[in-house]
Structure 1
Amino acid sequence: MSVRPQIGGIRDTFAPWEDATARPLVRFDHVSKAFGGVSAVDGVDVSIYEREFFALLGPSGCGKTTLMRLLAGFETPDAGRILLEGRDIQDDPPHRRPVHMMFQAYALFPHLNVAQNIAFGLKRQGLGKADSAARVEEMLALVRLEGLGRRRIDQLSGGQRQRVALARAIAPRPRILLLDEPMAALDKKLREETQFELMSLQQSLGMTFMIVTHDQDEAMVVADRIAVMREGRIVQVGRPAEIYEAPADRYVAGFIGDINLFEARVTHSENGRVKLASDEGLFEAEGAGPVGKTAWVAVRPEKITVLTERPADLDRDAPNVVRGEIHDYGYLGDWTTYMVRMASGRTLRAARANATRALDRPLGVGDAVWLAFQPTSAVVLTR
């Protein structure tokens, strides 16, 4: 299961959601679900397309797992419809749906060996013994567990158990595979390796995957599109780069990666560029906003330049330049993150790439710095 370098190229051109004539594989049509009077899913309306790797991203309790369980048939909507290839599957029991779910805890059978675990779902499909054995061998090769078919589950590492659970889920060849926090039990390095392997597997199978995760980095790596959820609702759907670079609001901006927000008053808005003013300085950014109203300038730490002195060629009224003092920093190997305290007492975060192999640190706690960024590096949010 090697990483395929062409995945990025495939994703650059894969966008069925932009085709008005394309029919979704799965359609959530204003779906709602409550438990004990508390809304878990609130009017969700979203489509998932054939061969898409779709991610539901959000904090615990936002409704993402409930939405997945509704599709699998383990829960019933209180309102709305779930359509699979245009057909309402409301009355289809879980075992009649061409949907398989890989659980966070894997739910492997300890009394069965690896091959028997993988073959479990095939028996329910009525697959013959020879065909089932051939499918199991195919799955073992696909997830790089060749020769381990007779091994007991308790003899496997965490990563191997995850592969067995994945093989068991895809062996019946469902129309869509649901992954509920599938890498939560893996250590960081193995999780990162598995993310790319999962992408490669999805491409080679030509299957539709839907993953639930609260790990923003994981969603950004594996997904063609991400749906960010909050309190039972989807607040934004888009490609990872769209979600990161053009968040719909402050919630999405803060949930996806680190962000600095400057609250200011709009003084000018024209041709997709906004000028703003606040006690912390003057700002200019891309976007639109009503003049005289409050808005927020959002800029990512890595898009901020850290300077030890104000550039001499900058006008005193130049936008997007603020002064502060470093009060803490963290060395992360590839990046150094600086926590910069402004005169107002607010702390900003700036990141500098460690492009050279330098063991000394040019900046430290107590150093005065200027933070600057380009208007094209920031976006204006009005909510």
Structure 2
Amino acid sequence: MDEGPDGALNGRAQIGGIRSSFAPWEDPAAKPLVRFEGVSRAFGDTAAVRSVDLSIYEGEFFALLGPSGCGKTTLMRLLAGFESPDAGRILLEGQDISGSPPHQRPIHMMFQAYALFPHLSVAGNIAFGLKRQGVPRTEIGPRVEEMLSLMKLEGLGGRRPDQLSGGQRQRVALARALAPRPRILLLDEPMAALDRKLREETQFELMAVQQSLGMTFMIVTHDQDEAMVVADRIAIMRAGEIVQIGRPAEIYETPADRYVAGFVGDVNLFEGRAEIDPAGIRIVSAEGSFVAEGVATPGQTAWLAVRPEKIAVHAEPPPPGENCLAGKIVDYGYLGDWTTYLVEVETGRTLRAARANATRSVDRPLGCDDPVWLTFAPSSAVILTR
């Protein structure tokens, strides 16, 4: 891994092939490393976690994603042993650890605030957990050096935390958590304090470190982009429950319901009545009649979900065809790689469309009040029934 700005690691190692073929959850014979069975936890009258069933596999980078208060941090703290379940079991390699204290679990947690000891050097911080674990002194030094090398912190072992950049402090906290070689590393919003560029670099760094160690990581985040980048699988949580688990692409392209569709990325939803059509399912809505691929019962209320980047924006009327709306641009935002347009259609509703800036200029730039036509293919839309 090469070192980039601010000492960040450009951890874009050759992990793509490994990640794309990694799918133990699809093997009926595979046994999970961690298993939550009907786990619930309440604080007073508030249910933080409700009857959660969840399996996490050896070597997996697993993400818990959801808004504040959905129960994702509580679920992580239950696995770490900082909370005890009111009901259900937590199994590690088939053994119930629900009643085990944190220090007896081969699980370490990296906190959002890093919690580095200001009076200890970088090396001292990394060695702290090893000393508490009773690792022989002859092994501590080599282990610390191994972590310094892994995290590209060579030459910084004698510095104190206040002499480091934000990215370097983050890597010291990660090195300290990894040094005792836990079976599972829990990451609680680990990149929340980093600026956007460093956060994006660190996401790939985490992936590379996890792959090089072959360790199981679980990350809690409310940042959907972060979860989509780092995770092998994502669990979307709402009100203490898991509403969908899947690979990032599965979550994004085939959301289970309107909540998931709206939480992960931007989406346009058309509510209407389902009808059978030779080309698929037709949704008759206030905005128009649209054909999509999916399953719905004739006469059933359904929603058509279309991502902004799946919608083509035309400055001139396109050839006649399915799934076309006319409107005018009421606002737009240039984001460098994309331009997002807010388009008001005939019903007065505003839709969101995105156009890739594939070249440095377009034939005729689109601006406010320009008439446009929006089109999308039936295969680009998803039919939702809840």
TM-score (norm: length of structure 2): 0.96
> Is 1:328 aligned to residue 336 of structure 2?
no
Q: Name the structure 2 match of 1:151.
A: 159
93, 98, 115: which one pairs with 1:85? 93
The alpha carbon displacement at 1:320 in A equals 1.1
**How far does the alpha carbon of each residue in 1:189-222 deviate from its partner, in whole angstroms, 9 at most, with x for none?**
0000000010000000000000000000000000
| 193-202 vs 278-287, which moves further | 278-287
Q: Name the structure 2 match of 1:35.
A: 43
C-alpha contact 1:269 1:288 (8 A) present in aligned 2: no
SS at match of 1:212: strand
Q: How many residues align?
A: 378
209, 218, 229: which one pairs with 1:210? 218
Distance in 1 (alpha carbons) for counterparts of 2:75 and 2:282: 41
> Is 1:286 aligned to residue 293 of structure 2?
yes
The alpha carbon displacement at 1:127 in A equals 1.0
SS at match of 1:59: coil
C-alpha contact 1:237 1:243 (8 A) present in aligned 2: yes
SS at match of 1:74: coil
C-alpha contact 2:284 2:290 (8 A) present in aligned 1: yes
49, 57, 63: which one pairs with 2:65? 57
Letter in structure 1 aligned against 2:140: S
> Is 1:310 aligned to residue 317 of structure 2?
yes
3, 24, 30: which one pairs with 1:22? 30
Runs of 4 or more off by more than 3 Å in structure 1? none
C-alpha contact 1:328 1:365 (8 A) present in aligned 2: yes
Q: Name the structure 2 match of 1:192.
A: 200
Letter in structure 2 aligned against 1:159: G
Q: Name the structure 2 match of 1:103.
A: 111
The alpha carbon displacement at 1:269 in A equals 6.3
Q: Name the structure 2 match of 1:354.
A: 357
C-alpha contact 2:277 2:291 (8 A) present in aligned 1: no
**How far does the alpha carbon of each residue in 1:54-83 deviate from its partner, in whole angstroms, 9 at most, with x for none?**
000000000000000000000000001000
Letter in structure 1 aligned against 2:292: A
Q: Name the structure 1 match of 2:132.
A: 124
Distance in 1 (alpha carbons) for counterparts of 2:64 and 2:238: 11
Q: Name the structure 2 match of 1:11.
A: 19
Letter in structure 2 aligned against 1:116: G
Q: Name the structure 2 match of 1:177.
A: 185
Q: Name the structure 2 match of 1:168.
A: 176
> Is 1:364 aligned to residue 367 of structure 2?
yes
Distance in 2 (alpha carbons) for counterparts of 1:269 and 1:168: 59
SS at match of 1:172: coil
The alpha carbon displacement at 1:138 in A equals 0.4
Letter in structure 1 aligned against 2:368: V
Distance in 2 (alpha carbons) for counterparts of 1:210 and 1:194: 16
The alpha carbon displacement at 1:129 in A equals 1.3
Letter in structure 2 aligned against 1:213: T
Distance in 1 (alpha carbons) for counterparts of 2:43 and 2:255: 30
The alpha carbon displacement at 1:6 in A equals 2.5
SS at match of 1:190: helix
C-alpha contact 1:269 1:290 (8 A) present in aligned 2: no
The alpha carbon displacement at 1:310 in A equals 2.1
333, 339, 347: which one pairs with 1:344? 347
SS at match of 1:254: helix
For the structure 1 residues 42 and 158, does the alpha-carbon distance in structure 2 shift closer, same or farther, using more than 3 Å as the test? same
SS at match of 1:263: strand
Identity level (%): 74
**How far does the alpha carbon of each residue in 1:115-172 deviate from its partner, in whole angstroms, 9 at most, with x for none?**
1110011012211112101100100111110011110111111111100000000000
The alpha carbon displacement at 1:4 in A equals 4.1
C-alpha contact 1:270 1:288 (8 A) present in aligned 2: no
For the structure 1 residues 110 and 332, does the alpha-carbon distance in structure 2 shift closer, same or farther, using more than 3 Å as the test? same
**How far does the alpha carbon of each residue in 1:3-53 deviate from its partner, in whole angstroms, 9 at most, with x for none?**
244312111110000001100000011100000110000011010000000
C-alpha contact 2:338 2:354 (8 A) present in aligned 1: yes
